[in-house]
Amino acid sequence: MDFYYGLAQTVGVHTLLGLSAYIVLLTGQVTLAQAGFFAIGAYTAGMLTVLAGWHLVPAIGAGALTGAATACAVGFPALRVKGLMLVVATLAFGEGVRLFFFNFDYQVAKGEIKVGPVGGEGFRQIRFFQENGWTTGEVMLFIWAFVILVMAALWWFDRSRYGAVLRAVGEDEVAAQSVGVNLTAVKVSAMTVGGAVAGIGGALYAHYTTHIEHANFNVLLATFAIAYPIVGGLSNVFGTLAAVIFVQAFLIEGLRDLGDWRNLLFGALIVLAMNLRPQGLFGGRRA
């Protein structure tokens, strides 16, 4: 049973990661920065529970805030460029964050051991759940409470006028600004909300794995983040969820026997999806 709980935890956290890219993708921007915001949320929340002794819930809130603040700061310069240049700029940012944590040492003595992030070795002993005696099932439910909350919020947001504005910007920036949409404000807001969602995902991730290191937040994770909404389609938030289940449960766990060949399958899937169903595997209602 624990295997399935563990899988559900992974699916939940990756759904948050995918949704963070979904919001930005609605405005037509392809971003590879989401793994960076995810990492920032993970380290922030981990350090607050382990080093500062915070409860997990406010620590997750702080992870969301730091993710959002970084995304907002990155958004202003990065969104001045478009298309491929934005991909390169956000990729550089994501790698920058990873390398920051590769070099980041901040340890504090806690009883007999020292805790905190140690550069390349990573950040061990993020044991909030274990110290408080949570079972795997409870942890899974806790994560999914956040996933459902975020999905509900984004579902509502998507149907509001703001959702229509994001999609309008994604479709035609010239037309959008001509009907009075402030492109910079819209894109930076989408990036900021995306950063907050990625931060929540990272905060949860740090606590269920208990050990994070720079290598967790590499380009592969950034690619996954953007691949989920692309594969799932942009019709609504459930496309991203379906894509995460498909990739994590079927491609990665279900086909475990194939070993590293699965990565090839993942690449092939994206190429296939873009060719055969550019609206996403689960996308509907496109003209």
What is the torsion angle, in degrees rounded to the nearest 10, for the CA atoms of residue 29, residue 30, residue 32 and residue 33? 10
Residues 143 and 11: beta-carbon distance below 8 Å: no
Least distance between other proteins and beta carbon 176 (Å):
7
Which two structure tokens, joined as six digits, stand for 183? 């492109």
Least distance between other proteins and beta carbon 274 (Å):
17
Give the Å distances, CA to CA, from 33 to 14, 20, 30, 77, 258: 15, 10, 9, 13, 30
Residues pairing with 27 in the sheet? none
Nearest to other proteins of 76, 250 (CB atom):
76
Nearest to other proteins of 161, 256 (CB atom):
161
Residues 281 and 246: beta-carbon distance below 8 Å: yes
Nearest to other proteins of 17, 190 (CB atom):
190
Which two structure tokens, joined as six digits, stand for 143? 């994560």
Least distance between other proteins and beta carbon 30 (Å):
17
In the block, tokens 């406010």 appear at 58
Residues 144 and 12: beta-carbon distance below 8 Å: yes
Least distance between other proteins and beta carbon 172 (Å):
5
Nearest to other proteins of 100, 162 (CB atom):
162
Residues 239 and 283: beta-carbon distance below 8 Å: yes
For helices 237-244 and 2-26, what crossing angle results, to 10°? 140
Least distance between other proteins and beta carbon 175 (Å):
4
Least distance between other proteins and beta carbon 76 (Å):
15
Nearest to other proteins of 68, 234 (CB atom):
234
Nearest to other proteins of 223, 235 (CB atom):
235
Nearest to other proteins of 256, 285 (CB atom):
285
Q: Is 118 helix (H, G, I), strand (E, B) or coil?
A: strand
Least distance between other proteins and beta carbon 87 (Å):
22
Residues pairing with 113 in the sheet? 110
Residue 156: CB partners within 8 Å, gap ≥ 6? none
Nearest to other proteins of 150, 168 (CB atom):
168
Cα distance between residue 3 and residue 127, in whole Å = 19
Cα distance between residue 123 and residue 51, in whole Å = 11
Least distance between other proteins and beta carbon 25 (Å):
13
Residues that bind other proteins (CB under 8 A): 161, 164-165, 167-168, 171-172, 174-183, 285-287
